[in-house]
Amino acid sequence: MLDINKIREQFPILHQEVYNKPLVYFDNAATTQKPRQVIDALIRYYEKQNSNIHRGVHYLSQQATDAFEATRRQVQQFINAPNAHEIIFTRGTTESINLVASSFCKRFVQEGDEILISEMEHHSNLVPWQMACEDRKARLVVIPITATGELDMEVFPTLLNNRTKIVAVTHVSNTLGTINPVKEIIEIAHSQGIPVLIDGAQAVSHMRVDVQELGCDFYCFSGHKMYAPMGIGVLFGKEEFLNAMPPYQGGGEMIKTVSFSGTTFNELPFKFEAGTPNVGDVLGLGAAIDFMTATGIDEIAAHEQHLLEYATQRLTEAGGIRFIGTAKNKTGVVSFLINNIHPFDAGTILDKLGIALRTGHHCTQPIMDHYGIPGTMRASFAVYNTTQEIDIMIEGIARTKKMFGV
């Protein structure tokens, strides 16, 4: 069993009041808070190591370079990637997906080809593929979802054909909490020779991820949703595809030789890391991985599952709650509506009570269209949350219902 109070002590931001109320932070699907060791890693870099990396012969540059590349190997081990050079540092999941959508499609997608995504995708795993389809004159095909918020796995195989060049789906829905059967999706796609990209932004902080076990060709995630700083992300890609794909951006580091007559590109991973990298936040990502590993990823998952079950039970008992997303296999996200109260209005009242929830469409407008609603209230949990905080949220919902006379 985790000592949640001890864990909470590591997060300075949690120990404050909002509108004279103790902060209850349930917006972890948008971004998680940062433990002291991550904050300290940033401070240590900028106070002791700050230097541009690679190519520098002086002491600080070598120290920063060694720490940066050690973190790349740490990420490799964290997701069990075969090789460190298959780990590309980006600004986040969004840039990772944009990189693949741009470079993969330039190399492998032609007019009349198809790209397959799902109805539950975050805009970051939808819009880049739309743009790629427009650029390559390809067609975007969508896997439908069921009334419970699960992928229709009977329809999925029927959408694959010899024109399908890539499948891009989320591991965990940021709105519904649904854990998709990505291993099955990958196996079905691979049986027809189709590569698969997985948006893992909502998965890496909630469960153990092993890209070799999954068999995916690309896996994307963001640091800031797993207790690391904002502005750092990861793209894992199989080297056979990364070697075949053209660079995403041009500039420093991604080159081997440059002349006015032409340029040759660097080897992996530097081919896709143009410009000065975000060294401090990469080191912060390493500290976040240390935190998660020391805490125990399986223990984190079990605690968050307990919170999910407790919140679902308490909300059901409260009455007047409509759940959006009732998949059998979920992680720590609850999306709901309170009677006929607009989610923005309810969220504003809860905010005044110190309770931070996310309201709106959560960058998944097609999901809202599917359910015919303007948006939802979303409570999303992390390792530092407690059942007592859920009780405070339930009390806040009761006050909200009373204010609206429902």
Where do the domains of the chain lie?
Answer: 4-30+296-404, 39-293
What average pLDDT does range 19-43 have in this prediction? Answer: 98
Residues 6+ apart with CB under 8 A from 34: 11, 13, 227, 228, 229, 284, 288
181, 153 Cβ separation under 8 angstroms: yes
What average pLDDT does range 316-333 have in this prediction? Answer: 97
Share of the chain above pLDDT 70, in %: 100
Reply yes or no on whether the pLDDT at 252 is more than 80: no
Q: What is the full DSSP assignment across 51-84?
A: ---SS--SHHHHHHHHHHHHHHHHHHHHHT-S-G
The end-to-end CA distance of the chain, in Å, is 39
Reply yes or no on whether the pLDDT at 81 is more than 90: yes
Is there a cis peptide before residue 269, judged by omega within 30 degrees of 0?
yes
Residues 6+ apart with CB under 8 A from 405: none
Residue 60, amino acid = L
Reply yes or no on whether the pLDDT at 206 is more than 80: yes
Of 356, 317, 354, 345, which is closest to residue 403 (Cα–Cα)? 345
Segment 163-173, tens digit of pLDDT: 999 999 999 99
Please state, in angstroms and rounded to a whole number, the distance separating the CA atoms of residues 291 and 38. Answer: 8
Query: Strands 196-199 and 218-222: what pairing?
Result: parallel
Q: How many helices (H) and strands (E) does the chain have?
A: 13, 17
What average pLDDT does range 44-56 have in this prediction? Answer: 92
Q: Which two tokens stand for residue 279?
A: 């060294």
- What is the pLDDT, as a whole number, of residue 76? 98
The lowest-confidence range among 30-44, 50-64, 70-84, 367-381 is 50-64
What average pLDDT does range 157-179 have in this prediction? Answer: 98
The backbone torsions φ and ψ at residue 278, rounded to the nearest 5 degrees and listed phi first, read -85, 75
pLDDT interval class at 215 (50, 70, 90): very high
For tokens 């940062």, what's the residue?
34
Q: Which two tokens stand for residue 268?
A: 């992996």
For tokens 């990505």, what's the residue?
182
Whole-model pTM: value is 0.96
Considering the domain 4-30+296-404, what is its CATH architecture? Alpha-Beta Complex (3.90)
What average pLDDT does range 77-92 have in this prediction? Answer: 98
pLDDT interval class at 39 (50, 70, 90): very high
Of 10, 18, 201, 180, which is closest to residue 96 (Cα–Cα)? 201
Of 161, 159, 213, which is closest to residue 192 (Cα–Cα)? 161
Secondary element (H or E) of residue 166? strand 164-170
- Cα 291 to its chain centre, rounded Å, is 18
Mean pLDDT of the chain: 96
Active site residue 105: no
In this structure, the number of other CB atoms found within 10 A of the CB of residue 269 comes to 22
Angle between helices 279-295 and 297-318 (to 10 degrees): 80
Q: In 252-360, which ranges are continuous DSSP H helix?
A: 279-295, 297-318, 343-352
CA separation, residue 1 to residues 14, 32, 293, 313 (Å)? 21, 21, 15, 21
What average pLDDT does range 282-302 have in this prediction? Answer: 98
Reply yes or no on whether the pLDDT at 255 is more than 80: no
Residue 331, amino acid = T
Considering the domain 39-293, what is its CATH architecture? 3-Layer(aba) Sandwich (3.40)
- What is the pLDDT, as a whole number, of residue 258? 74
Please state, in angstroms and rounded to a whole number, the distance separating the CA atoms of residues 134 and 92. Answer: 23
pLDDT interval class at 256 (50, 70, 90): confident
